[in-house]
């Protein structure tokens, strides 16, 4: 019944009803009629048969389980073997590909190295050629420069020797009498007068040196003793030395103080006062712009006027230039004198 798929535990037997004979019943040989068969004996037989079939099934299940486990073990072994084989093949393939790539890289590196070495050698050859050519040209230029310098030095020595030893030939013609300088007047004034006289008389370098020697008087001529003999024929050297000694560059601050403290004295003519202010302003601001110098002269002139009424009138009617300011003040002074009662 279990082989036929019938559940023995749930099967209900009906002894009083005639049922078709099953295969199990056919196998049982009953020496007695069915009606007289004991139900318990049938159940015992059936239980025994069920136990046998269960044992057989269990043994078959055990055999099947063993076979499946053996098959699974063999499959696992085969998988492991296949995986191992594939890993080995992959490692071999990786190793082979890595060796091939390394060989290709080495070959390419070798080719690049050879190309670079060839280019470097070519460039080095060109550079050496250029350096050799440049060194040759530089040597030639240096030689020519040394030769030119030697010739210039010899020419300078020759000119100096001729200047010291040759008789002085001059085209000196005196049209305008040159000024003299003893330090009592500003050096810039003397220099300006001397330059104008030189231009008017058309003096050359020799004439200017000779005239300067004669023009220096008293303390101003003492500077000639400090000049070396080979430089005494140079007009620029002589004038620069005298300017360092008597120039007004270091006295600008003194002139500025004198200009600020200059006021018209009692019984001093306005024209004389204006001239003195103009001279001090020129000495104190020799390098300044004309506009600035004009403003300084006008301001100091008006501040120094003694007459308060004239100062007020000059302030009330300002002029653009110093000359106009002085002229306006002189006009006011004359007007004041004429307007006084007899």
Residue 30: pLDDT over 70:
no
- In the chain, the N- to C-terminal Cα span, in Å, equals 180
270 neighbors 305 (Cβ within 8 angstroms) = yes
Pick from 18-22, 41-45, 78-82, 133-137: least confident: 18-22
- pLDDT at 40 (0 to 100): 85
pLDDT of res. 119: 87
Domains in the chain and their CATH numbers? 187-247 (no CATH), 250-339 (1.10.1200.30)
Q: Is the pLDDT of residue 143 over 50?
A: yes
236-263: per-residue pLDDT in tens?
Answer: 888 888 877 776 555 677 778 888 888 8
- The Cα–Cα gap between 76 and 70 comes to 10
Whole-structure pTM over 0.75, yes or no?
A: no
CA atoms 187, 192, 195, 196: torsion sign? negative
Residue 213 pLDDT exceeds 80: yes
Q: What is the pLDDT of residue 16?
A: 52
322 touches 294 (CB < 8 A): yes
Tens of pLDDT, residues 298-335: 889 889 988 888 888 888 888 888 888 888 888 888 88
Backbone angles phi, psi at 85, to 5 degrees: -65, -40
Residue in this structure with the two tokens 């080095």, named with its chain if needed = 124
User: What does the block give as tokens for 160?
Assistant: 């100096």
Question: What's the confidence (pLDDT) of residue 17?
Answer: 47
State pLDDT tens for residues 145-158: 788 888 887 877 77
* Whole-number average pLDDT of the chain: 80
SS3 254: helix
- Which residue shows structure tokens 């004996």? 41
């Amino acid at each position: 019944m279990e082989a036929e798929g019938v559940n023995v535990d749930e099967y209900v037997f009906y002894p009083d009803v005639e049922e078709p004979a099953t295969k199990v019943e056919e196998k049982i040989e009953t020496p007695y009629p069915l009606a007289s068969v004991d139900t318990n004996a049938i159940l015992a037989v059936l239980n025994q048969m069920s136990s046998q079939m269960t044992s057989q099934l269990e043994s078959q299940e055990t055999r099947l389980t063993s076979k499946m486990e053996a098959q699974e073990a063999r499959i696992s072994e085969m998988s492991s073997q296949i995986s191992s084989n594939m890993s080995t093949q992959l490692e071999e393939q990786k190793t082979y590909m890595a060796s091939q790539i390394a060989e290709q890289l080495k070959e390419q590196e070798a080719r690049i190295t050879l190309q670079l070495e060839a280019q470097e050698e070519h460039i080095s050859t060109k550079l050496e050629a250029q350096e050799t050519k440049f060194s040759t040209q530089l040597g030639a230029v240096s030689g020519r420069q040394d030769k030119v310098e030697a010739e210039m030095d010899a020419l300078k020595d020759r000119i100096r020797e001729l200047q010291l030893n040759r008789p002085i030939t001059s085209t000196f013609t005196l049209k305008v009498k040159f000024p003299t300088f003893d330090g009592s007047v500003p050096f810039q004034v003397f220099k300006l007068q001397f330059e104008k006289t030189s231009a008017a008389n058309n003096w050359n370098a020799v004439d200017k040196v000779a005239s300067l020697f004669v023009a220096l008087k008293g303390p101003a001529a003492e500077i000639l003793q400090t000049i070396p003999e080979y430089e005494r024929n140079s007009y620029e050297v002589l004038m620069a030395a005298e300017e360092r000694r008597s120039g007004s560059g270091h006295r600008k601050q003194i002139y500025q103080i004198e200009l600020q403290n200059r006021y018209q004295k009692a019984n001093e003519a306005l024209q004389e006062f204006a001239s003195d202010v103009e001279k001090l302003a020129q000495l104190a601001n020799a390098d300044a712009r004309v506009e600035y110098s004009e403003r300084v002269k006008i301001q100091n002139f008006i501040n120094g006027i003694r007459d308060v009424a004239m100062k007020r009138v000059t302030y009330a009617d300002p002029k653009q230039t110093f000359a106009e300011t002085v002229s306006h003040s002189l006009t006011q002074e004359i007007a004041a004198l004429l307007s006084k009662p007899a």
